[in-house]
Structure 1
């Protein structure tokens, strides 16, 4: 999954604007959840971002005891059960609240910096059983080829001192540092926790609570109707995973004590760009019609539409077809795309008007019309 400097700033701003807004309960579904055979003591580092609240909610429904560790800067949702809150700051090494306690498993959600894993490991390696690190498919050295498996080479770090990297240095060079630093964070996890380590590498995470607006662009735009610009020829592969599917599977991995490395990409079938947009249209309805515009024309005009990556892209062409066979064999399941789209739109529609107006992904209707006119002017 590509992460740019613009993404990082936008995610921070939008998360601050909507973290305390409705959506968790409305989007979580009402189907009963079976209790786990053995309740666990689970420590979640973070827990108030995108997928963390879904982890908490599912863990509580399964009968587990949950502790959160974070800076306490985001309002927490109203949990359907008791959740312990510990405060600290990994940026400054303030991990005192974690000392002298024990948990069966630790889930590390927000980490990109290796020193965060090192410091947490020094405190927790004798205090937790399993350590689950949420990584990214951006760790791979070659994102251009299809079918990337978990054993593919990882992106090398070319800086001076990975342990000296900070959020500020990461933001300054996100394109070149994000993947390599995640890869080194994985290595540090193995160094600190050894065979007790689980690495989960998602691609695009979508669904309710997604403040990036990347996937939301498509059902929202399609719901508006009219002529919709679709990038490429419609055959480029797309992979997305509902944040709830990722969160719930992570808890089940903890319950099963499953270790190893897994690509958490979805769905469990080949999804094309055309299938994605028509799937969104099946949910939204309306008089939308789709016009395909070639990737090279979009590149010449500086257009980078969210979620979509051309299969011929020299650096990221394989990001829509990463192998998820190992994760599926380990129990990863996916709810229907239609469910994700419907729940996502319901959540987005529940946000205040000012948040909806601050939509931060894709292109404007005006820019879209300009591009379509320019494409036709070329004799398309």
Structure 2
């Protein structure tokens, strides 16, 4: 196949290019030429801008398009319009976050999605991200009603992840010492290794699949407590965990998911966020590597970054130490005799 990747030098994009090349396909990437521009000298690079400068795509043909960088429906509409007759299938990387109600585990691909009261809004925030992704999906379907492949990943993790929403834990646990963690070990976790995601997408294109798919994992229930204990087992058996309750985290303005990555407490209406149904993608051949491989490879990659690198998620070592000392003092005060 001849594949066009819109955004092919950052995280998922770069893994899609690597996987496509590994499987013998020809690849063209369309980017602004600003991020990791020296990657993939062996493929064709088209330079432009998603918002208003798509001229390098005009008059070209590809067997498949993979859109990894669409966040605003107006911008996605520009791409679908110019590529309407240029490809057999348009693949759009959406998100699990499109759904309206996460209160119940087991959501399937036909669950109701979010809507914006004002569909002209284009600012991407935590509040608008999911609804904008849902509108982007609709733009794709308008132009490619029977030729779309919509991928809704869970949290994408692994080497080259710029968000650190998973990397924080292997990095922190692997470096040892006393680790602050939320005392809610039964919280479910769903993640997808970026390499498994890339493999599934290219596989589906090879199989000429269309439709909408959840793509996350693992294929069995995984909890935050199990993940952290396995991370300790794989990386540093000397690491210890200090488990603190949600009330303590709230008191000190430690935010779920951001300051405590992967942590979404049970009972706040989000029990289904990390428990979506995977039957469709697993039935179509989604293959998931062991979680230990993701943990180890992510840690190894994280160790190659500059020593001065600042994590984009989680808490700093100084903040963690401050919280640990505060927690120990509070515990002592609570058990001290009157």
TM-score (norm 2): 0.92
Alignment of 1:122-201 (within 5 A): 122-159=81-118, 161-162=120-121, 165=122, 169-170=123-124, 174-201=125-152
- 1:322 corresponds to 2:276: yes
Deviates more, 1:215-224 or 1:225-234: 225-234
Partner in structure 2 of residue 244 of structure 1: 195
Partner in structure 1 of residue 311 of structure 2: 359
- 1:309 corresponds to 2:264: yes
1:372 and 1:317 map into 2 onto residues whose CA distance is 28
State the secondary structure of the residue aligned to 1:282: helix
Aligned pair in 2 of structure 1 residues 301, 317: CA closer, same or farther (>3 Å)? farther
Partner in structure 1 of residue 32 of structure 2: 71
State the secondary structure of the residue aligned to 1:195: coil
1:325 and 1:145 map into 2 onto residues whose CA distance is 16
1:344 and 1:214 map into 2 onto residues whose CA distance is 12
Partner residue of 1:105 out of 60, 64, 89: 64
1:372 and 1:144 map into 2 onto residues whose CA distance is 32
Alignment of 1:363-374 (within 5 A): 363-374=315-326
Could you tell me whether the CA contact under 8 Å between 2:171 and 2:302 is conserved in 1? no
Q: CA deviation at 1:78?
A: 4.3
Could you tell me whether the CA contact under 8 Å between 1:186 and 1:199 is conserved in 2? yes
Partner in structure 1 of residue 214 of structure 2: 263
The structure where helix makes up a greater share of residues is 1
TM-score (norm 1): 0.82
State the secondary structure of the residue aligned to 1:343: helix
- 1:339 corresponds to 2:290: no
Structure 2: tracts of 5 or more residues without a match: none
2:174 and 2:18 map into 1 onto residues whose CA distance is 30
Could you tell me whether the CA contact under 8 Å between 2:7 and 2:69 is conserved in 1? yes
2:144 and 2:154 map into 1 onto residues whose CA distance is 24
Could you tell me whether the CA contact under 8 Å between 1:232 and 1:310 is conserved in 2? no
Could you tell me whether the CA contact under 8 Å between 2:224 and 2:262 is conserved in 1? no
2:323 and 2:305 map into 1 onto residues whose CA distance is 30
State the secondary structure of the residue aligned to 2:249: helix
Q: CA deviation at 1:242?
A: 0.8
Partner in structure 2 of residue 21 of structure 1: none
Q: CA deviation at 1:196?
A: 0.6
Aligned pair in 2 of structure 1 residues 345, 77: CA closer, same or farther (>3 Å)? farther
Q: CA deviation at 1:292?
A: 2.1
Could you tell me whether the CA contact under 8 Å between 1:53 and 1:77 is conserved in 2? no
State the secondary structure of the residue aligned to 1:354: coil
Partner in structure 2 of residue 56 of structure 1: 17
Could you tell me whether the CA contact under 8 Å between 1:143 and 1:319 is conserved in 2? yes
1:231 and 1:107 map into 2 onto residues whose CA distance is 37
Could you tell me whether the CA contact under 8 Å between 2:191 and 2:218 is conserved in 1? yes
When the two chains are superposed, the root-mean-square deviation of aligned CA atoms in Å is 1.7
Could you tell me whether the CA contact under 8 Å between 1:239 and 1:321 is conserved in 2? yes
2:11 and 2:268 map into 1 onto residues whose CA distance is 28
Could you tell me whether the CA contact under 8 Å between 1:66 and 1:83 is conserved in 2? yes
Aligned pair in 2 of structure 1 residues 267, 274: CA closer, same or farther (>3 Å)? same
